[in-house]
Amino acid sequence: MTDIYSTGHLTQSHALDMLRGMLKLLLKARSSMREGAIDPNVLEDLYPWLFGDKCVLPALSGVIDRAEQSGTLSPMDFFNQMTVLYRFMPTLVAVAPITLGSKLLPAEPPDHMVYLRGWAPEPLAAGMQVIYVPNHANGSTWHIDCERGFVTSLNQDGAHAFVRYWSKSNPGTLRTRANSECTPIANLVIKDTVDQALVDQCLANIDQGLDPHHTEESNHD
């Protein structure tokens, strides 16, 4: 298994998955302790963190809920949660290895401070929604010249992606219907701006050589 904490390579989605995994594990441990399935003496160090004033579950749940609703996980929130969780990590690891998919959560805390510098970029893939931010926008996704769209494929050079952009004057309709535009990845910010179902339908039509906005009803027009 690979270490999910590879310095400088933790993405926001991985960090959020880690918090979800921790919450699931803690809820299971608390339930098992209530049912007497685990000897409380074995988890003596963990007990105060699952019950009473020290219970970490409300704060952890709150961080996850806010991140899921806003689409953004604060590096500081992640730092704070992992700092607390690692106080009793040895006890958890002693009970069972903590895994998230194929990635192993290490028993020893890494240098959490590296995450305060921000997340590693999420790997682009077809179907991801993005915002094109021109250089003169100085990183602002709200600049008037920004464009919203989704990735259709990646260029072999690794530095560009092919993107279809939405019309600014006709929301929900593509401006680039005939072809995708080659765009520098450095100018793309991953951000959902429309219902993903619309993106998936457009992409499926494109893959079949159809108009992006093709529907069954359009066959009868």
What's the confidence (pLDDT) of residue 127? 93
Residue 200 in any domain: the answer is: yes
CA 55/CA 50 separation, integer angstroms: 5
Residue 194 in any domain: the answer is: yes
Q: pLDDT tens, 153-212?
A: 999 888 899 999 999 998 889 998 888 999 999 899 888 899 999 999 999 999 888 888
Residue 123 in any domain: the answer is: no
Question: Domains in the chain: how many in total?
Answer: 2
CA 37 to chain centre: 34
Domain residue limits at 99 = 2-117
CA 34/CA 40 separation, integer angstroms: 9
CA 99/CA 84 separation, integer angstroms: 19
Last residue within a domain, chosen from 70, 89, 117: 117
For residue 120, list its beta bridge partners.
Answer: 11
Which pair of tokens denotes residue 124? 């682009």
Largest CA distance in the chain: 72
SS3 of 65-100: the string is HHHHHHCCCCHHHHHHHHHHHCCCHHHHHHHCCCEE
Regarding whether 31 and 68 lie in a shared domain, the answer is: yes
Regarding whether 98 and 161 lie in a shared domain, the answer is: no
DSSP H helical segments within 53-195, as ranges? 57-70, 75-85, 89-95
What's the confidence (pLDDT) of residue 112? 55
Reported as a pLDDT band with limits 50, 70 and 90, residue 33 is confident
**Residue type (1 letter), 117:** R
Regarding whether 108 and 168 lie in a shared domain, the answer is: no
Regarding whether 112 and 15 lie in a shared domain, the answer is: yes
List the strands of the sheet with 181-184, edge to edge.
Answer: 181-184, 160-165, 147-154, 129-132, 188-190
Regarding whether 178 and 85 lie in a shared domain, the answer is: no
| pLDDT score of 9 more than 60 | no
Map residue 54 onto helix, strand or coil. helix
- The whole-model pTM stands at 0.56
CA 47/CA 35 separation, integer angstroms: 14
Residue 62 in any domain: the answer is: yes
Last residue within a domain, chosen from 85, 117, 149: 117
**Residue type (1 letter), 135:** N
Regarding whether 158 and 93 lie in a shared domain, the answer is: no
Let me know: does 179 contact 112? Beta carbons within 8 Å. no
Residue 122 in any domain: the answer is: no
**Residue type (1 letter), 58:** P
